[in-house]
Amino acid sequence: MEQAKTVQGTDPRSGDKVGEPVPETTAAELAVLLARAADAAGPLGASAPQDRIALLHALADRLDAATAQLSDLAARESGLPLPRLTGEVARTSGQLRLFAQVVADGGYLEVIADSADDTAVPPRPRLRRWLEPVGPVLIFGASNFPFAFSVLGGDTASALASGCPVVVSKKSGVAELFDDTPAMRVVDCGAVAWAEALRQVAASAPLRDSMRRAALDYSRRQLAGWREVLDEDLFSLWREATQAPAELIA
């Protein structure tokens, strides 16, 4: 039987251990999780928009209710400043609510409806086209953004909003605060397990296409947010630097 290794969270500022050791997911365990995600794909993809909206709002509410606990734990694990992490939790719950609005709007389906035309040569039948969820999505969490690009980050939010189950890598203790949903499976970090996951992704053209489209959709929706960062943060720093006394710049 394959013996699982463990990963221990450590406070980079003090060297103290954070939480209990987290076992790495074995290839066999990952196969089970992927199978469960595949089983959840049908029911989640067929779920009513109102149900997905309720799920996204419920996750956002849980995040907001645990802001202090989450931020403190992430600060001990990452060494990042507490105010920065508190703001990131708010950003993450905001992302979940944003994608709930996207579901309510329905534009992401890209519905096209063509009426029948008996006078056309040849006659044209009535045509309907829309986008559908295609199955499980694998998410790699970012340790430098433990919330916004991790277990319940924007990638996960967009996948759940579109009706795709999620398998996501776990970043030590932070994921302990989240229960699995039928649409999302948390997988411990492990080179062997993720190598097997990559092999399965490489073998599945529909899954790769789903991940590609989800990434493109996410980047388009986040473009405005990056412009705000440029306008409010980087440009303001540049203006302060150019207006500072010469001796400070030197």
Question: What tens digit of pLDDT does each residue of 29-47 get?
Answer: 888 888 888 888 888 888 8
- What Cα–Cα distance (Å) separates residue 32 from each residue in 4, 23, 160, 221? 15, 16, 20, 33
pTM of full prediction above 0.85: no
Q: 24: number of CA atoms within 13 Å, CB side?
A: 16
The distance in angstroms from the start CA to the end CA of the chain is 63
pLDDT recorded at residue 14: 87
Which residues partner with 7 through β-bridges? 22
pLDDT recorded at residue 240: 55
Q: Model confidence over 196-228: pLDDT tens digits?
A: 665 666 677 776 666 666 655 644 554 444 445
For the segment 56-65, the average pLDDT, to the nearest whole number, is 90
Q: 209: number of CA atoms within 13 Å, CB side?
A: 8
Name every residue whose Cβ is closer than 8 Å to that of residue 247 and which is 6 or more positions away in sequence: none
Could you tell me how many helices (H) and strands (E) the chain has, helices first? 9, 7
pLDDT recorded at residue 239: 55
Amino acid at 104: A
Q: Model confidence over 169-189: pLDDT tens digits?
A: 755 444 444 444 444 445 554
Domains, the chain, ranges and CATH?
25-108+131-249 (3.40.605.10)
Longest Cα separation, the chain: 79
Residue 79 pLDDT greater than 60, yes or no:
yes
Q: What is the DSSP letter of 175?
A: G
